[in-house]
Amino acid sequence: MSNEWFQFKQFTIRQDQCAMKVGTDGVLLGAWAKGGQRILDVGTGTGLIALMMAQRYAACFVEALEIDRDACRQAKVNVEASPFADRVRVREVALQQFETVKQFDSIVSNPPYFVEGLRSPDAKRSMARHSDTLPYEALCQSAYRLLANEGEMSVVLPVESVEQFSTTAVISGFYLRKKYLIRTVARKSPKRCLMAWVKRRPEKLDEQTLTLFDDAGEMSEWYAKLMNNFYL
């Protein structure tokens, strides 16, 4: 998925100006996250998740935030070329500086996740991957401020980052409602995790481990159903 463009059923993602290309993490989150009338996409990159949410929720309006200028421009191009241009607005602004009068029903983010480790020689790719550009504390505190009381924050993370993010989310006032560990095939350990956080303690935690592909390389029933409206 690293070519200059990626074709979905209802829109095209051009990505030659973006450090982080279309990948499984973003596609999973965009197809899985709960939406609502007002949706905030934090770190929109190419605009992929914002467009997926706009496709899934026909009555919604999506605010998409991005701090990288080139990615922001490309996201705007992708949005303008889509059928959802009147319901998605891309802004070049950091989450910490973003203000709004009305809170959001849904906040989605595929956040930077490298807390430590070698930085990429590509500065833009490094920005998109390293969490010092959007520390978990800043993401969670800002999301709590911007999320409606009945709203939901959904994120996708590598399993190695789940514990640190979860601690930060709880300290910020969130309760975990869903935790889906995702493995590529059944014989391998989970590599990524989808999580949904809310402001009020849920009656129970929905916790699952799911698989993307069977041993023959075919999509699992769960993954195929999730992607049915997006993949050609």
Q: What percent of the chain has pLDDT over 90?
A: 85
Tell me the pLDDT tens digit for each residue of 45-89. 999 999 999 999 999 999 999 999 999 999 999 999 999 999 999
194 contact partners, CB below 8 Å, separation of at least 6: 28, 29, 32, 33, 154, 155, 156, 178, 179, 180, 182
* Structure tokens given for 149: 């009381």
* Structure tokens given for 222: 């769960």
The confidence score (pLDDT) of residue 20 equals 80
What does the alpha-carbon distance between residue 213 and residue 61 come to, in Å, rounded to a whole number? 33
Q: Which stretches within 83-158 are classed as H helix?
A: 123-129, 136-146
Which residue matches tokens 């930060």? 168
CA nearest to 37, candidates 73, 84, 87? 87
Indicate the angle between helix axes 136-146 and 159-171, nearest 10 degrees: 50
Is 180 in contact with 148 (CB distance < 8 Å)? no
The secondary structure element, H or E, covering residue 37 is none
Rounded average pLDDT over 128-138? 69
Query: Which domains does the chain carry?
Result: 9-227 (3.40.50.150)
Is 191 in contact with 211 (CB distance < 8 Å)? no
35: phi then psi, degrees, rounded to nearest 5: -110, -145
* pTM of model > 0.85: yes
Tell me the pLDDT tens digit for each residue of 94-130. 999 999 999 999 999 999 864 544 444 554 544 444 4
